[in-house]
Amino acid sequence: MSDKLKNAKIIFVVGGPGSGKGTQCEKVVAKYGYTHLSSGDLLRAEVASGSERGKNLSAIMQRGELVPLDTVLDMIKEAMIAKADVSKGYLIDGYPREVKQGEEFEKKIGPPSLLLYIDAKSETMVKRLMKRGETSGRADDNEETIKKRLDLYYKATEPVIAFYEGRGIVRKIDSEGSVDDVFSNVAKAVDSLK
């Protein structure tokens, strides 16, 4: 476990693609001053940098597959350490994507206090992503890749929720409603930490 992050308050934000994780995280940042780290955003920044590592990542992400565990974890850890002196806590968005990622995170960084499970129906997620794709410029917001991302979510990521349920830290949030309705439930869960 890392020294600088020893007492860090950590919230995992898990849910399917397009469920509204990023949207809710922004609101938690505004209200609670947490640091938002989206693993997808970190990877996209690496791709945008034009680095050799970024080129490899780009192809994997366009196929809707998972990039190697160590790559994402190192990026998250670096970003956490950079904010350690000023952060009230961390929202880790879009990670863990599989149980193994959670286990490695805990070995290298520490345990989460809460897992926010942002839950929407698959039709809702597809609809939101197709709409987001009109303006996002994301290479993976297209019908074919969305389908692969959803399949992988149900296969690899849903077991993560069951894994942490055993520890009693999962709060399931229905995200079919409006952004503000969803946030009122997210806020209750975050408040329960204090």
Ligand X SMILES: Nc1nc2c(ncn2[C@@H]2O[C@H](COP(=O)(O)OP(=O)(O)O)[C@@H](O)[C@H]2O)c(=O)[nH]1
Which class for 136: exposed (0-12), middle (13-18), buried (19 or more C-beta within 10 A)?
Answer: exposed
Centroid of chain to Cα 74: 15
Distances in whole angstroms, Cα of residue 128 to Cα of each of 1, 124, 184: 38, 6, 20
Q: Closest Cα to residue 91, out of 143, 148, 39?
A: 39
- What DSSP string describes 52-69? HHHHHHHHHHHTTPPPPH
Q: Which of positions 100-159 make contact with ligand CTP (CB under 6 A)?
A: 140, 149
Residue 34 interacting partner from Mg ion, ligand X, ligand CTP, none (CB closer than 5 to 8 Å by kind):
none
* Binding residues with ligand CTP: total (CB under 6 A): 19
- The binder of 133, among ligand CTP, ligand X, Mg ion, none, by C-beta within 5 to 8 A per type, is none
Considering CB distances under 5 to 8 angstroms, the limit depending on partner class, which of Mg ion, ligand CTP, ligand X, none binds residue 78?
Answer: none
Selected from 20, 64, 110, 133, the binder of ligand X by CB under 6 A is 20
18 binds ligand X (CB under 6 A): yes
Q: Treating both helix axes as pointing N-terminal to C-terminal, what angle do 39-48 and 52-62 enclose, rounded to 10 degrees?
A: 130
User: 78 with 140: CB under 8 angstroms?
Assistant: no
Out of 10, 80, 92, 97, the only residue in the binding site for ligand CTP (CB under 6 A) is 97
Site for Mg ion in 5-64 (CB under 5 A): 22
Contact positions toward ligand CTP, by CB under 6 A? Answer: 17-18, 21-22, 39-40, 43, 60-61, 64-67, 72, 94-95, 97, 140, 149
